[in-house]
Structure formats: structure tokens, C-alpha cells
Structure 1
Amino acid sequence: MSTGKEELEVEEDFPVVDQDEVVEPPAEVAKTNLAKRRTIDALLAEKRLQKELEDYPYDL
């Protein structure tokens, strides 16, 4: 066991990072996600309506 009087060697090779060089990844904006969702919903609704038109009996 250690007696507590031993000196440990510590390597301090941490990279020095300048705060100006830190690049944060751009965060997704909620408005962008909402716009994408609305676009998808519109496309799905259009596809559903096209399917209904194909199935509609025109011989009234």
C-alpha cells in the first residue's frame, strides 16, 4: 500500500484551444423543422386526394 509520501508524475498534455477558434455546429431551428413537416403533410394530403380522384366513379 501507499504511505502517502510518494509523489506521482502527472502529464499535462492538454491541447490549448483558443475561444475564438471554437466552432459550434449550427442548431436546427424549430421553424425549419416545422416548415419541413408542413411540406411533408401537404405532399401526403395531395397524394391522398389524387388516390381518391382515381377511385372516384365518374359515370354518374
Structure 2
Amino acid sequence: MSTGKEELEVEEDFAVVDPDEIVEPVIEVAKTNLAKRRTIDALLEEKRLRKELEDYGYDL
């Protein structure tokens, strides 16, 4: 158990990073997946509407 009188050693050797060298991670995967999903949904909706038009009885 600590008595509270011990000195802690702290290392202050932090690496200096140039702000120009920081590479931000690409997070556009979700946006890309969402765009693909919307495209697929639009195509499925178009296919469903075309089938509905084919099945529609024009002879009223």
C-alpha cells in the first residue's frame, strides 16, 4: 500500500508531431455503403414498379 510520500517518476519525452504529417483516417466507408444501399433500394423499387405496371389491367 502507498504511504502517499513516494515520488512518482514522470516521463516527459513526448514525440513532436508536425500537423502536416497527421493523416486522418478515411471514414467514407459508411457513406459509400449507404450510397450503395440507396442505389440498390432504388433499383429494387424500379423493378417492383415495372412488374406492377406489367400486371396492371389496362382493360377497365
What interval of TM-score do these two structures reach, taking the shorter chain for normalisation? Answer: 0.5 to 0.7
Runs of 4+ in 1 over 4 A off after TM superposition: none
In the alignment, what sits opposite 2:43? 43
Q: What is the aligned length?
A: 35
SS at 2:38 equivalent? helix
Please state how far the C-alpha of 1:28 moved relative to its aligned partner: 6.0
Q: CA RMSD in A?
A: 1.6
Please state how far the C-alpha of 1:27 moved relative to its aligned partner: 6.9
In the alignment, what sits opposite 1:30? 30
Same amino acid, percent of matched pairs: 86
- Normalising by structure 1, report the TM-score: 0.53
Please state how far the C-alpha of 1:29 moved relative to its aligned partner: 1.2
Gapped regions of structure 1 (runs ≥ 5): 1-25
- Normalising by structure 2, report the TM-score: 0.53
SS at 2:33 equivalent? helix
In the alignment, what sits opposite 1:59? 59
Gapped regions of structure 2 (runs ≥ 5): 1-25
